[in-house]
Amino acid sequence: MPAEVHVTIRDETDIVTARQRGRELAAIHGFSKTEQTFIATAISEVARNIVAYARRGEIVLATSQDQGRPCIVVVARDEGPGIQDVEVAMRDGYSTSKGLGMGLGGAKRLMDAFDLISAVGKGTTVTMKKCVR
Amino acid sequence: MSVPVLRLGDVLIASIQAALTDRDLLQLRDDLSDQVGRFRARGVIVDVTALDVLDSSAIRTVRDLAHTTRLRGARTVVVGIQPEVAFAMVQLGLTLEGVATALDLDEGLALLRQEDA
Amino acid sequence: MADTTFAGTDLPRRAEIEIDEQEVNRRKQFLEFRADDAEALKSLEPIAEQYADPVIEDLYRHFLSFDETGGFFRDPKVLERVKRLQREYFVRLTEGDYGADYVRNRLGIGTVHERIDLAPKWYLGAYSFYLRAVATRLLEAFGKEPQKAFSAFLSLMKLVFLDIGLAVETYIAARDRTMRKQQEAIRELSTPVLQIRDRLLLLPIIGVIDTHRARLITESLLRSIRANRARVVVMDVTGVATVDSKVAQHILQAVAAARLMGASVIVTGLSSNVAQSLVALGIDLGTLNTAGDLQGGIEDAERILGYRVVRAAETGRGPQLAERR
Ligand SMILES: Nc1ncnc2c1ncn2[C@@H]1O[C@H](COP(=O)(O)OP(=O)(O)O)[C@@H](O)[C@H]1O
Ligand SMILES: [Mg+2]
């Protein structure tokens, strides 16, 4: 088992690959089927944002421990246009692409921890974590 | 990958077998919309049993699909949402309001028959 | 852990068992503990004062020579404190008043020992040591009158057996309490989803709902919907400790998820007070299908499923359900 799984995100098939890898990793580490689905869905959201807004980027999946509980850490990184106002982007229903605008907020609710760092013109990094209950 | 559309009397059935790209789903929407008109279908069933993830973009497409076929005059039912997927959708805050749902294909067909009666 | 518990216990904590005067008397009758026993013990008070320290030193030397008991008293401060309490216990044996107050004090001492996890075998073993140590001192004190020493010892033994009975009861009470707590925990964790009719599930929720438990309940509900091919679910929240906005959100989420699987949920047991305060909090219950009570909810569900209630007069038999379709 490699310590980290890297998935390059360039098109929609990569989104599917990334979330499948995430589900596999979660299954190995004892996450319930519901939790696996939550993790895969959150990965799908951030990976899709990479394709939609940055064209390319990568998803890195890693595992860690939190008080003896296995955790999965998902990092979605791109060097796309970045987000001007992160707070606004996080808002449910906000979208610059006629999307539903539920991706970021939804991913946050699906995971235990969620962090978004972005710089206009430099890119965006989303870090999410979920631990086994 | 395109989605085959089955015809059962005046009901069209589209079983989505694997994760589809946005383009596939848009294709499906156009196909269904087209066939509703051609076969004067009274009902459409979108079967998502095989999908283990429905993210916000897929949910929007399914929703749009249902709205489109309904506007074309066919009752549309989404069937086969898995328990974990349903839970994740609720967490996303996307619950397909205004779209009819049923447990599976049988239940979807029963629902359409019931509406007819 | 045990040490800190003991160290923090200055006075014996209130025991959880309540024993009234009448019950105390009944026990004394059985032990044949009479007024003259009480008097005899009272007359021993000066001797008890005199011998308290040596007896207690002996007892703790014995405790400390066994790992199983010595472990509780390694800390000199703790040892100091328990010796002081032990001295109080000892002197109390000859104070002469053995009513409800005495019993309460003894129950408290038993509770302390149970709390520090001192197993009954050691606790009871200590009584044996205690009695023997006291017997020796009594013989010593009464010198040429061993007959008197023996009689005093018998009185003391009756009282000590009263104490032992109380101590054993505190252990049993503690065990019962632990079992009750575990049962409560199990009940809270396991929320049964019951199929009460074809396509109809009942989900009675009892206890406190937090995020984790709400998640477990929703998961098992959704799985049951698929397993039983349910079309209607009656979710009864009468037994939910408090329905605040957070709990309401959990309920709404479970309802929405069930609907995505084609099942409609009827919520029963929401009091009008709760409903009003949720509306005041801005929670939209408009989409929620509710019924006043469980019975009403089940009737609504049956209507949705196409059952109808047939009166006894119509069939000549008892009330029963008939399928419409
Ligand atoms: N990786 C990214 N790079 C640039 N902008 C992004 C990125 N991810 C999200 N955004 C911005 O945040 C908004 C909200 O994203 P999201 O919640 O996923 O909703 P949606 O994708 O439906 O618009 C997007 O419309 C976009 O403007
Ligand atoms: Mg998005």
Q: Is B103–C229 a contact, with Cβ atoms under 8 angstroms apart?
A: yes
pLDDT over 50 at C320, yes or no? no
Examine the domain organization and report whether C32 and C160 are in the same domain.
yes
Burial class of residue C46 (count of CB atoms within 10 Å of its CB; 0-12, 13-18, 19+): exposed
Examine the domain organization and report whether C34 and C172 are in the same domain.
yes
Angstrom CA distances, B114 to B43, B46, B75, stand at 12, 18, 12
Among residues C265, C185, C189, the alpha carbon closest in space to that of C224 is found at C265
pLDDT over 80 at C311, yes or no? no
pLDDT over 50 at C4, yes or no? no
Helix intervals (H) in C93-202: 100-115, 120-142, 146-189
Specify the pLDDT at position C118: 80
Percent of chain C with pLDDT over 70: 88
- Could you tell me the CATH number of the domain that includes residue C251? 3.30.750.24
Residues on chain B touching A38 (C-beta within 8 angstroms) = 84, 87-88, 91
pLDDT tens for each residue of B2-61: 788 999 999 999 998 877 777 887 888 889 999 999 999 999 999 999 999 999 999 998
Which atom from ligand 1 is nearest to the alpha carbon of A98? 23
C86 found inside a domain: yes
Q: Please tell me the number of Cα atoms within 13 Å of C41 on its side-chain side.
A: 22
Examine the domain organization and report whether C167 and C276 are in the same domain.
no
Q: Copy the structure tokens of residue C40.
A: 């005899």
Tally the domains of chain C: 2
Examine the domain organization and report whether C238 and C306 are in the same domain.
yes
pLDDT band at C5 (very low <50, low <70, confident <90, very high): very low
- The pairing of strands B100-102 and B75-79 is parallel
pLDDT over 70 at A10, yes or no? yes
With a CB cutoff of 8 Å and minimum separation 6, the contacts of C275 are: C285, C290
Examine the domain organization and report whether C319 and C268 are in the same domain.
yes
Examine the domain organization and report whether C152 and C267 are in the same domain.
no
Burial class of residue C261 (count of CB atoms within 10 Å of its CB; 0-12, 13-18, 19+): buried
Specify the pLDDT at position C8: 31
**Angstrom distance (rounded) from CA A59 to CA A50:** 9
C7 found inside a domain: no
Examine the domain organization and report whether C110 and C229 are in the same domain.
no
Q: Looking at the DSSP assignment, which residues form a beta bridge with residue A77?
A: A58, A125
Specify the pLDDT at position A74: 98
Most confident of the following: B83-87, C5-9, C175-179, C245-249: B83-87
3-state secondary structure of C133: helix
pLDDT band at C184 (very low <50, low <70, confident <90, very high): low
Torsion of CA C169, C175, C176, C179, to 10 degrees: 180
Q: Which ipTM did the prediction report? A: 0.95
Domains of chain B, earliest start first: 5-108 (3.30.750.24)
Examine the domain organization and report whether C94 and C163 are in the same domain.
yes
With a CB cutoff of 8 Å and minimum separation 6, the contacts of B28 are: B2, B3, B5, B14, B16, B20, B65
The DSSP H or E segment spanning A15 is helix A12-28
**Angstrom distance (rounded) from CA B53 to CA B59:** 10
Examine the domain organization and report whether C247 and C295 are in the same domain.
yes
Task: Find the mean pLDDT for residues C128-151.
Answer: 90
pLDDT over 70 at C6, yes or no? no
Domain A4-131 has CATH 3.30.565.10: yes
Angstrom CA distances, C285 to C10, C55, C253, stand at 53, 71, 12
Residues on chain C touching B84 (C-beta within 8 angstroms) = 222
Q: Is A124 in the pocket of ligand 1 (CB under 6 A)?
A: yes
Taking CA atoms only, the protein residue closest to ligand 1 atom 23 is A95
More confident residue, A94 or C172: A94
DSSP string, A35-96: HHHHHHHHHHHHHHHIIIIIS-EEEEEEEEEETTEEEEEEEEEE-SS--S-HHHHHSTT--S
Specify the pLDDT at position A93: 97
Examine the domain organization and report whether C128 and C208 are in the same domain.
no
Examine the domain organization and report whether C121 and C209 are in the same domain.
no
The DSSP H or E segment spanning C235 is strand C232-240
pLDDT over 60 at C323, yes or no? no
More confident residue, A87 or C91: A87
Task: Read off φ and ψ for residue C75, nearest 5 degrees.
Answer: -70, 120
C9 found inside a domain: no
Q: Please tell me the number of Cα atoms within 13 Å of B93 on its side-chain side.
A: 13
pLDDT band at C188 (very low <50, low <70, confident <90, very high): low
pLDDT tens for each residue of C84-134: 888 888 889 998 889 888 888 888 777 777 777 788 888 888 889 889 989
pLDDT over 60 at C193, yes or no? yes
pLDDT over 50 at C13, yes or no? no
C1 found inside a domain: no
Identify the domain containing residue C118 by its residue range. 21-181
Examine the domain organization and report whether C163 and C230 are in the same domain.
no
Q: Which of C152, C181, C210 is the last residue of a domain?
A: C181
Q: Copy the structure tokens of residue C208.
A: 């406190």
C63 found inside a domain: yes
Percent of chain C with pLDDT over 90: 38
Annotated domain spans of chain A = 4-131
More confident residue, C213 or C259: C259
The DSSP H or E segment spanning B35 is helix B22-39
- Could you tell me the CATH number of the domain that includes residue C28? 1.10.490.10
Closest CB to A109 among B60, B83, B91 = B91
Q: Is A5 in the pocket of ligand 1 (CB under 6 A)?
A: no
State the pTM of this model: 0.70
Q: Is C219–A133 a contact, with Cβ atoms under 8 angstroms apart?
A: no
- What mean pLDDT value characterizes chain C? 83
